[in-house]
C-alpha cells in the first residue's frame, strides 16, 4: 500500500448486506435530460424484460465471470443475449484481492500512484493523457459485497476528486449498498473479447469518448461506473454489459441497482456528481461524473 492519508470510521453496518471492463471502454458521453425522463425503449428482442423475469426453483450452477466470449456484432460489441437465469438477480460473491478491513469497519486511504500501481494500470494510462500520474490518486475504500461482508476495493481517480470519493463510498457503506467488485482496470481488460458479464466498479481509464474525438471524463479521473451489470448502458438495441438485459427494466428492483431518487444516487449527486441515469440518451445507469458528461 502506498503511503498516503488514511481515513477511519467507527461506523459498522449490521444486517441487510448491503470480467472484462465494459463501459469504461465503451461510451460515457451523453447530454443531461430534463427532470422527467421517458423510459428508454429497447427494440432488441433479446433485451425484452418479460422473458428475463422467468424464475426457476431449480439449483443454479456456479457462474464463472469472463469464461465465455460472445459472438461479435458488426459494431464490434458482443451480441446482446438474454440474461442467464443465475444472473437475473445477480448476487455473486466478492473475491478478495486486497485484505478485508479489520472488524468489518469502514476505512479509506488516499495515496500516490506508486510504481506497483502504475504497473498494474498497464495501458489504461499512456503518454499524452490529460492528467499526469502526479494528478491522480490511488484510493482504497471498504465496500459491502452481495455476500454481506466488508471488502477492500481500489480506484484511481483525480487527486482533487479523491476526498469526495471517500465521502461517497462511506455513505454507500453505511447504507449497506452492495457492490460485487472494485479493482483497477488493466491491459487485459482492454484486450479481452467481450463476455458480457463484467461487473467491476471502476474509475480512471485514459480514452476518448466512444464515437467522438474528445476525451471521456474517465480520462481525467472524474468519472466512476458502479455495478455495471445491475446498471447497464443502453443505446438503442445495444446493452452493455451484453448479458445484462434483465436490468434494463428499472421497475424490477433488485439489490445493487441505482434508481432515481435513491439514497445511493443521492450519495453521489449531493457531492456534485452527475448521474448517467438522468441522461436523455443513451442511458448510462452505472455512470457518475464531475464533468456533467
**Sign of dihedral through CA atoms 197, 30, 270, 259?**
negative
Rounded Cα distance, 59 and 39, in Å = 34
**Sign of dihedral through CA atoms 247, 201, 175, 217?**
negative
- Give the pLDDT confidence score for residue 214 in this predicted structure: 76
pTM for this entry: 0.82
Kindly give, in sequence order, each residue whose CB lies less than 8 Å from that of residue 215, ignoring residues fewer than 6 positions away.
Answer: 130, 206, 207, 208, 209
Rounded Cα distance, 125 and 116, in Å = 13
- Give the pLDDT confidence score for residue 49 in this predicted structure: 42
- Give the pLDDT confidence score for residue 208 in this predicted structure: 62
3-state secondary structure of 195: coil
- pLDDT tens for each residue of the chain, 293 residues long: 444 555 544 333 333 333 344 445 444 444 444 433 333 333 333 344 444 554 545 566 789 999 999 999 999 999 999 999 999 999 999 999 999 998 999 999 999 999 999 999 999 999 889 999 999 999 999 999 999 999 999 999 999 999 999 999 999 999 999 999 999 999 999 999 999 999 999 999 997 665 556 788 999 999 999 999 999 999 999 999 999 999 999 999 999 999 999 999 999 999 999 999 999 999 999 999 999 88
3-state secondary structure of 267: helix
In the numeric block, which cell numbers belong to residue 19?
470480467
- Give the pLDDT confidence score for residue 293 in this predicted structure: 86
Instruction: Give the residue extent of every domain in the chain.
Output: 4-31+76-88+99-289
- Give the pLDDT confidence score for residue 33 in this predicted structure: 45
Give 106's Cβ-side CA count (13 Å radius): 21
- Give the pLDDT confidence score for residue 286 in this predicted structure: 98
Picking from 18, 48, 2, 1, the residue whose alpha carbon sits closest to that of residue 180 is: 18
Alpha carbon 133 to chain centroid, angstroms: 22
- Give the pLDDT confidence score for residue 52 in this predicted structure: 54
- Which residues partner with 5 through β-bridges? 110
- Give the pLDDT confidence score for residue 88 in this predicted structure: 98
Helical spans, DSSP H, in the chain: 49-52, 115-121, 162-175, 187-191, 263-269
Amino acid at each position: 500500500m502506498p503511503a498516503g492519508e488514511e481515513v477511519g470510521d467507527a461506523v459498522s453496518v449490521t444486517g441487510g448486506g448491503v470480467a472484462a471492463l465494459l463501459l469504461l471502454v465503451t461510451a460515457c458521453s451523453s447530454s443531461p435530460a430534463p427532470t422527467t425522463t421517458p423510459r428508454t425503449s429497447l427494440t432488441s428482442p433479446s433485451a425484452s424484460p418479460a422473458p428475463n423475469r422467468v424464475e426457476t426453483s431449480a439449483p443454479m450452477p456456479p457462474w464463472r465471470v469472463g469464461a465465455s466470449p460472445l459472438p461479435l456484432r458488426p459494431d464490434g460489441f458482443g451480441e446482446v443475449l438474454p440474461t442467464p437465469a443465475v444472473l437475473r438477480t445477480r448476487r455473486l460473491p466478492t473475491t478478495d484481492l486486497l485484505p478485508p478491513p479489520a472488524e468489518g469497519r469502514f476505512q479509506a486511504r488516499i495515496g500516490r500512484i506508486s510504481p506497483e500501481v502504475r504497473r498494474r494500470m498497464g495501458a489504461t494510462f499512456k503518454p499524452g493523457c490529460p492528467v499526469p500520474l502526479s494528478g491522480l490518486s490511488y484510493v482504497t475504500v471498504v465496500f459491502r459485497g452481495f455476500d454481506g461482508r466488508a471488502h477492500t476495493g481500489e480506484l484511481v481517480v483525480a487527486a482533487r476528486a479523491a476526498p469526495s470519493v471517500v465521502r461517497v463510498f462511506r455513505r454507500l457503506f453505511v447504507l449497506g449498498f452492495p457492490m460485487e467488485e472494485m479493482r483497477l482496470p488493466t491491459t487485459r481488460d482492454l484486450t479481452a473479447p467481450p463476455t458480457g458479464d463484467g461487473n467491476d466498479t471502476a474509475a480512471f481509464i485514459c480514452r476518448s469518448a466512444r464515437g467522438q474525438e474528445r476525451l471521456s471524463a474517465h480520462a481525467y479521473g472524474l468519472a466512476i461506473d458502479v455495478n455495471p451489470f445491475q446498471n447497464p448502458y443502453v443505446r438503442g438495441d445495444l446493452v452493455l454489459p451484453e448479458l445484462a438485459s434483465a436490468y434494463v427494466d428499472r421497475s424490477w428492483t433488485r439489490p445493487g441497482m441505482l434508481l432515481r431518487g435513491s439514497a445511493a444516487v443521492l450519495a453521489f449527486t449531493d457531492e456534485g456528481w452527475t448521474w448517467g441515469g438522468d441522461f436523455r440518451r443513451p442511458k448510462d445507469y452505472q455512470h457518475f461524473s464531475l464533468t456533467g458528461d
